[in-house]
C-alpha cells in the first residue's frame, strides 16, 4: 500500500508541475496575443479595435472626440522615404500619448490618422487640449538621417454627449477634420453639431 502511494505521488508531482508550467506558458502567450490586438505595432499606442472596445464598455461616456491627421504625409514619404514616414508616425503618436491624461485614450485609427477621446472634457477644454497637441507637434524637430522634417497636424473635434455613440462623435470629428484640412491644414476645428 505504501509502495503504491509513493509511486502515485512520484508520478503526480512531475505531472502537476508539467501541467502548471504549460498553463503558465499558455497564459503568457495569451497575454502576448492580447497585446498584439490591443497595441499598434509601429507606435505602441492603442489599436482602433481596442479603442472601440474600451469605448463600448462605457457607452454613456461624456467627453471630446478628436481626429488627428498628419498633414501632407504622402509628400513626407515621397521626399524622405517610408522609414522616415514611420518615424514621423511614431513621434506624433508619442507626443499625443504623452500629453493626455491617463483616463483619456489615443489610438492609431489608420495610416497617419489618430483618434482620441478626452473623458469628461467640455468643448472648450477639448479645444484647448487639441490646440496644445497641435502646437506640440508643430514644434517638433524631427531629424532623419541628417535631414529635418517639419511636421504639422490637422485636428477635428466633436463633443460626445452621453446619449450618442462614439461612432457618431467620431464621424462629426472627421467632418471637422476635413474642414481643417480643406481650410489650409495645421489647425483645429470643432464640429458645429451637438
Same domain, 32 and 54: no
Query: At 31, is the pLDDT very low, low, confident or very high (cuts 50, 70, 90)?
Result: very low
- pLDDT tens-digit map of 58-96: 999 999 999 999 999 999 999 999 999 999 999 999 999
Q: How many domains does the chain have?
A: 2
Distance of CA 134 to the CA centre of its chain: 16
Q: In the annotation, is 32 catalytic?
A: no
Look up the domain containing 9 and give its range: 1-38
Same domain, 117 and 56: yes
Same domain, 116 and 88: yes
Same domain, 120 and 181: yes
- pLDDT tens-digit map of 166-186: 999 999 999 999 999 999 999
Per the listing, cell 461612432 goes with 167
Q: Which long-range contacts (CB under 8 A, 24 or more apart) does 168-173 make?
A: 169/65, 170/65, 170/67, 170/115, 172/65, 173/65, 173/66, 173/67, 173/115
pLDDT at 141: 85
Local structure of residue 164 (DSSP, 8 states): S
Q: Which of 91, 112, 113, 164 is catalytic?
A: 112
Angstrom distance (rounded) from CA 135 to CA 69: 14
Same domain, 77 and 169: yes
Amino acid at each position: 500500500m505504501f509502495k503504491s502511494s509513493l509511486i502515485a505521488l512520484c508520478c503526480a508531482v512531475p505531472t502537476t508541475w508539467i501541467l502548471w508550467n504549460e498553463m503558465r506558458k499558455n497564459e503568457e502567450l495569451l497575454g502576448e496575443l492580447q497585446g498584439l490586438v490591443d497595441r499598434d505595432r509601429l507606435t505602441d499606442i492603442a489599436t482602433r479595435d481596442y479603442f472601440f472596445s474600451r469605448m463600448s464598455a462605457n457607452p454613456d461616456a461624456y467627453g471630446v472626440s478628436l481626429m488627428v491627421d498628419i498633414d501632407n504625409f504622402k509628400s513626407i514619404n515621397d521626399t524622405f522615404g517610408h522609414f522616415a514616414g514611420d518615424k514621423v508616425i511614431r513621434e506624433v503618436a508619442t507626443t499625443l500619448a504623452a500629453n493626455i491624461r491617463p483616463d483619456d485614450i489615443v489610438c492609431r485609427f489608420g495610416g497617419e490618422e489618430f483618434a482620441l477621446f478626452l473623458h469628461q472634457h467640455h468643448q472648450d477644454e477639448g479645444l484647448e487640449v487639441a490646440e496644445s497637441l497641435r502646437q506640440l507637434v508643430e514644434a517638433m524637430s524631427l531629424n532623419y538621417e541628417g535631414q529635418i522634417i517639419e511636421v504639422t497636424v490637422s485636428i477635428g473635434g466633436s463633443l460626445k454627449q452621453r446619449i450618442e455613440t462614439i461612432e457618431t462623435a467620431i464621424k462629426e470629428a472627421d467632418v471637422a477634420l476635413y474642414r481643417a484640412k480643406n481650410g489650409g491644414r495645421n489647425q483645429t476645428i470643432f464640429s458645429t453639431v451637438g
